[in-house]
Amino acid sequence: MINETFVASDPKSAYEQAVEKYGSNGLTIVSAKQLKYDDGVLRSEVVIAVPKTLFMEKSFGEESFGEESFEDEIENEEEELISEIGELKAQLEIMKEGIYQEIREEDSVISEVKELFIKKGISPVWLDEMFNLLIGTELVEDKALLVSYLLEEIDEALKVKEENLDSPKVMMLVGPTGVGKTTTIAKLAARYAYLMDRPYKVALLNLDSYKVGAIEQLEHYADIMQIEHIAVSSVEEFKDRLEMLEGYDVILVDTAGMSPYDTHKFIKTVEFVNSDINMEVNLVLLQQSSMKIWKISIRTFHF
């Protein structure tokens, strides 16, 4: 049903208008009231409920669409409108991306910082998303500020896993040469052996047979702390030594430092990682904080 309002000087005259237009059959009075209009004249409004087909026929002529065709037409118009809005949004996104692309290419600060992070392995897509959010701010005008901001965003995106020492654990540290893996292992060993709520039984396994003095350095730390230290050269020996250390709470594994281009060391380290041992593999990174102080960061991966 469709409601239509008829206005006259009195309710009877308003209803007669409805009868004149639609006839007396099928009409339902919804409401009738008298209102004083802005010109001060008192008028009567009568609201009549009319079948949709009758409304279409009397309002738009005998050849107008039926009820179903009318609904289909409205639905089609809505679909076309939604489609046009979608196309318009897509065009706006393309225009916006084009503008941002021009800004990113022409802005020397953004270009330099983007190139720097891409060389470090950061996704160009993620960088573009960040730059789009920052365009128009002071951050994109200062290279140091922009680099610091992106580093903080990356740092916040990395989740920190709560430590669980309820069961024995094997922790392997991997990372580039000179990043501080051996020193970090020594500090972790001291923490677990002497600085926790209770002393944990700790052992050190050394897989670094490449760097000169690497085994001696870790062995020296182990002697000072009076904890077990074992040098390992093969995957089979690695598994055997871990079985021997079954009663230990924490086993820390030092690995050879490597660059991403050192295929031989990389494959060797992967062999140890994939040795069917339940352990945490921690990536040790050297990163620069916003205060220009170099610090060691450890990221854990489970295998």
Query: For 155-210, what is each residue's pLDDT tens digit?
Result: 888 777 788 888 999 999 988 888 888 889 999 999 999 999 899 999 999 987 66
**Who's near 27: CB < 8 A, 6+ residues apart?**
18, 19, 48, 49, 50
Q: Which long-range contacts (CB under 8 A, 24 or more apart) does 16-22 make?
A: 18/46, 18/48, 21/58, 22/48, 22/50, 22/54, 22/58
For 108, phi then psi, to 5°, come to -65, -35
CB within 8 Å of 29: residues ≥ 6 apart = 15, 46, 47, 48, 49
Instruction: Outline where the chain has alpha helix (H).
Output: 11-22, 52-60, 67-106, 108-119, 124-134, 143-157, 181-190, 214-225, 235-244, 263-273
Residue 256: its pLDDT value, please?
Answer: 84
Give per-residue burial for 60-92: e unless 16+ CB within 10 Å, then b.
eeeeeeeeeebeeeeeeeeeeeeeeeeeeeeee
Q: Which parts of the chain register pLDDT below 70? A: 60-75, 91-107, 209-214, 287-303
Strand order in the sheet with 280-288: 228-231, 202-206, 250-254, 169-174, 280-288, 294-302
Q: What are phi and psi of 294, to 5 degrees?
A: -75, 135
pLDDT at res. 289: 46
pLDDT of residue 195: 92
102: Cβ contacts below 8 Å, ≥ 6 apart? none
> pLDDT per residue over 233-244, tens digit each?
888 999 999 999
Residue 162 DSSP class: P
| 207 CA to centre of own chain | 36
CA atoms within 13 A on the CB side of 257: 15
Give yes or no for a contact between 296 and 184, defined as CB atoms under 8 angstroms apart. yes
Which pLDDT does position 159 carry in this prediction? 76
Q: How far is CA 38 from the centre of its chain?
A: 58
Long-range CB contacts for residues 142-147, cutoff 8 Å, separation at least 24: 142/109, 143/109, 143/112, 143/113, 146/109, 146/110, 146/113, 147/113, 147/116
- Supply the pLDDT for residue 193: 94
